[in-house]
Amino acid sequence: MTRKAKSRRSHKSKSILFLILENRLYSLVIIFFLVVITFANSTRNEFTYDDIPYIKDNKNVTSLKYLPKIFSEPYPPHMPELGLYRPIVEVSYMIDYALGIRHTELEALGLEPEIDKLPFHITNILIHFMVCVLVYVIALRLYSEHRLVAFMSAGIFAVMPAHVEVVASVVGRAESLATLFYLLSFYLVIVSPVDESYFSLKKLSAYLCFLLALLSKEMAITLPLVVGVYLVLFRRDEIKRASAYGGIPGFLVLYLLPYVCVFLMYIVTRINVVGYVGIAEEGTYFAKNPELPPVASMLIVFLAYLKLMIFPDVLHIDYNFPLPIFDGVRIPAPTGILAPLPLLGLFVLLLWLGLGVYLFIRRNKLAFLLLWFPVTLFPVSNIIPFGDIMAERFLYLPSVGFCILIGWVFSRFILLHSAHSPRLNRQTQIALAVFVIVMLAMMYRCIKRNADWKDSVALWNSVERVDPDNYDLHYALGHAYQELRKYYLTRGNIYQQLGQLKRAQQYLRLAEKYENLAIKSYYTSIEKHPRYYESYHNLAELLAEAKHPNLAEAARLEKFLVDSALPDNWKHIDMFNYALGAVYVKMKKWDKALTYFRRAIRFNPNKMDYYNNVGAALASLGHYQMAEKFWRYVLSRDPFNEAAEKNLKRLENLKRLYGTNPIPPSEKFKFSTKTPQLQK
């Protein structure tokens, strides 16, 4: 064989293997298909978990007329106590809502329009793909010795199982959207000359992207620090040539000044809307769990985050101590920093930071990747008090540096053993096989995890598999079943009115099934966690609405209330009594209902619904004059109270028909009581 023929054959064998390396478009197309294949089954998912309050119950995303309110109200508007402000995320929901709204004939009967979830999920997948593209181009710019680094980095990021919560859960978009603008701003820094004017198009675009990232999620605050580390490591020579700035420190101050101005503008806007910078102290994780030592706990969480990125066998939506770490293995709450696991966490953290700082001093560019993870994780590390101890979504931005680091290691090993030969030697074949197997395993884990986000019941069933003693589990399952009951009951009643009896019966049977499951879950929650007041409240509401109320169940709930009147529950004892009164209303036990409504007033004299229900109970027992006083008192405090207005009109109708001393009301003149609202 001639030398020319050998060369053609060698070139052919190598070009087939490394086709993706020579053509950026091919690489990005493959990454696109990796993302689509991995997350395609998430497009069938319903709104789950935080999707409900942040999207489904958020009126600001339902119409363009609310656009000004998105920028002037907290997120979501009905939960200002959370202290969140993310208008860019809400604008994206508004667009998806407009694309997904489906009007049906049932709207004429009072139902809200149906919302197709598909646009929300497609948007999440597209944003994730765009983030993967930015990971690719940033890795290519920073470590451009070969495109294999960029491809492997973006590929690992695309299918990392810890990212499922961000993509499969609609509200995870806050993370991906913030990361998109964060990386875009950083990329504009990379491609801009260091001495370019503040007012150049690239610089202005970088500042705007930083602002959009902050308006998507607060985690973007670390961008100026990341930019500073990048400039020192990668652009030191250019900075030195710009001697007019007074050396590297002076240059960095002037270079980062616009980012500081953008950040201050964001802070002022946030304070104006939310009222404070962070979150309310009572909402922070360690304020709600004062028995936990914060430093020791967060050192264990640091280890858990590393484990999640390396071996994501256990995925969870509600991380708390005891912390599920492996299948069947849960880490108990630490007693102090001198315990073995916190000490191990401290050792690993110091080793990680120490290696990063050492390489930084040596001007090794890998220092940037090592420092990226702890720097971008800082906002959720509870050094600044935060609302959660740990969440998979918090890894989305920090994992960028980790994925590029792993991609660099993999590619360097492959290139090291293939640089001197066009053929694949054994070491290269093994390395490629390992990479492919790891990618396929991660894709399979993601696809399985996507199914857990199908709906609220599937999600909490997944929690039961990994964390059966989770504090929220049975209450949350009860709530999910109760929402399904409400959905099917409403439609069953409507189809019954329309005369479609067969269809109505199908819906009503499903409603009864989920009612029984909800009751069972709430009782389990109360037995396991007597302090969980929402379980008592929602169970009482469910019994109050049941088609066939059960006196034995009401008595059982009453016994739970008496036996479990613990300090946490006493804060909400008025709601317990209010809900129990509603149960006895359903059974027409008006004397018992009156007792509990009066107790509710004694514990909380400012709730007008309690007074209205006392009036209804009194009127149903024939005490009309006393009932009228209660309703007039309600209207004096709340002139637009609909229930009190209706009850007064019904009393007047009774008097007109039966005189000033009417007989006890029949069903025709049933007085209106307000039932307790479901706690979420």
Structure tokens at 388: 């959660």
For the cut 50, the answer to whether the pLDDT of residue 148 exceeds it is yes
Which tokens go with 416?
A: 């090291």
Tell me, what amino acid is at 538? N
Considering only residues 81 and 562, tell me which one the structure prediction assigns the higher pLDDT. Answer: 81
Lowest mean pLDDT of 266-270, 553-557, 574-578, 586-590, name the range: 553-557
Q: pLDDT > 70: what percent of the chain? A: 86
Average pLDDT over every residue of 168-187 = 96
Write the CB contacts of 603 (distance below 8 Å, at least 6 apart in sequence): 573, 574, 577
The whole-angstrom separation of Cα 331 and Cα 329 is 7
By the 8 A CB rule, do 615 and 628 touch? yes
| Token code pair at residue 163 | 């990212």
Q: What is the pLDDT of residue 621?
A: 83
Q: What is the pLDDT, as a whole number, of residue 561? A: 63
Per-residue pLDDT band at 22 (split at 50, 70, 90): low
Residue pLDDT, tens place only, 187-215: 999 999 888 888 899 999 999 999 999 99
Closest CA to 492 of 502, 478, 481, 483: 502
Q: Give the confidence band of 425 by pLDDT, cuts at 50, 70, 90.
A: low
How much is the average pLDDT of 288-316? 92
Residue 243 has pLDDT above 70, yes or no: no
**Whether the predicted pLDDT of 71 surpasses 90:** yes
pLDDT band at 13 (very low <50, low <70, confident <90, very high): very low
Q: For 537-557, how does the pLDDT look when each residue is reduced to its tens digit (9 = 90+)?
A: 788 778 777 766 666 667 776
Predicted pLDDT at 571: 65
Q: Give the pLDDT score at 12.
A: 44
Other residues' Cβ atoms within 10 Å of the Cβ of residue 59:
11
pLDDT, position 8? 45
At residue 660, φ and ψ (nearest 5 deg) are -75, -15
Model confidence at 490, pLDDT cuts 50, 70, 90, reads: confident
Judged against a pLDDT cut of 90, whether residue 499 lies above it is answered with: no
Q: Any idea what DSSP says for residue 499? A: T
Mean pLDDT, to the nearest integer, of 311-339? 89
Between 622 and 166, name the one with better pLDDT: 166
Task: Please state, in angstroms and rounded to a whole number, the distance separating the CA atoms of residues 649 and 635.
Answer: 13
How sure is the predictor about 414, in pLDDT bands with cuts at 50, 70 and 90? confident
Contact present, 577 and 554 (Cβ < 8 Å): no
Least reliable range by pLDDT among 265-274, 529-538, 549-558, 671-680? 671-680
pLDDT at 514 > cutoff 80: yes
* Distance (Å, whole) CA 310 – CA 438: 10
From the number of C-beta atoms within 10 Å of its C-beta (0-12, 13-18, 19+), residue 478 rates as: buried
Of 502-516, 557-571, 610-624, least confident by mean pLDDT is 557-571
pLDDT band at 428 (very low <50, low <70, confident <90, very high): confident
| Confidence at 568, pLDDT banded by 50, 70, 90 | low
Q: Decide: helix, strand or coil at residue 76.
A: coil
- Would you state the structure tokens that stand for residue 485, as one six-digit string? 């009951």
Query: HSE (CB half, 13 Å, CA atoms) of 67?
Result: 7
Residue 299 near residue 342, CB atoms below 8 Å: yes
pLDDT range class, residue 599, cuts 50, 70, 90: confident
Calculate the average pLDDT of the chain.
85
Q: What percent of the chain has pLDDT over 90?
A: 45
Identify whether 76 is preceded by a cis peptide bond (ω within 30 of 0).
yes
Give dist(CA 298, CA 110) in Å, integer: 49
Q: pLDDT confidence of 7, banded at 50, 70, 90?
A: very low
609-627 b/e (C-beta count within 10 Å ≥ 16 → b): bbbbbbbbbbbbeebbeeb
Of 215-219, 419-423, 584-588, the least confident: 419-423
> Which pLDDT score is estimated for 592?
86
Mean pLDDT computed over 588-596: 86
Could you please report the per-residue DSSP string of 77-120? TT-GGG----HHHHHHHHHHHHHHEE--GGGGGTPPPEE-SHHH
pLDDT-based confidence at residue 106 (cuts at 50, 70, 90): low
More reliable by pLDDT, 38 or 325: 38
Q: pTM for the complete prediction?
A: 0.85
Q: Is the pLDDT of residue 16 over 60?
A: no
